[in-house]
């Protein structure tokens, strides 16, 4: 895989990961339980990406994504 694609994937991974971290803290606060969950967070995001990227091209297409979808996207 070309280096630019690896960089794109890393940036996307980082942005999604940070968004989820912020959402978790906003909803739950910074409790000890949340701090423990955040330690496992990056591993979980990586597992989600691996699961959703069916063709392993480094991108999750609309077809591959198993979550809620909006046809207008």
pLDDT digits (tens, 9 = 90+) for 15-48: 888 888 898 889 989 888 888 888 887 788 788 8
Residue 26: the pLDDT is 92
Residue 68, both tokens: 């809620």
Identify each DSSP E strand in the chain by its residue range: none
- 43 lies in some domain: yes
Domain range holding 41? Answer: 3-52
More confident residue, 64 or 11: 64
- 66 lies in some domain: no
- 70 lies in some domain: no
Residue 17: the pLDDT is 81
Q: How many domains is the chain built from?
A: 1
- 22 lies in some domain: yes
| CA distance to 2, 31, 67, 72, per residue, from 48 (Å) | 22, 24, 11, 24
Nearest by Cα to 20 from 58, 56, 47, 57? 47
Q: How far apart are CA 73 and CA 59, in angstroms?
A: 16
- 38 lies in some domain: yes
């Amino acid at each position: 895989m070309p280096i630019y694609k690896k960089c794109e994937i890393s940036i996307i991974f980082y942005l999604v990961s940070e968004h989820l971290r912020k959402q978790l803290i906003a909803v739950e606060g910074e409790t000890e339980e949340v701090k423990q969950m955040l330690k496992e967070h990056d591993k979980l995001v990586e597992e989600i990406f691996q699961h959703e990227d069916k063709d392993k091209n480094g991108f999750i297409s609309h077809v591959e994504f198993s979550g809620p979808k909006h046809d207008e996207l």
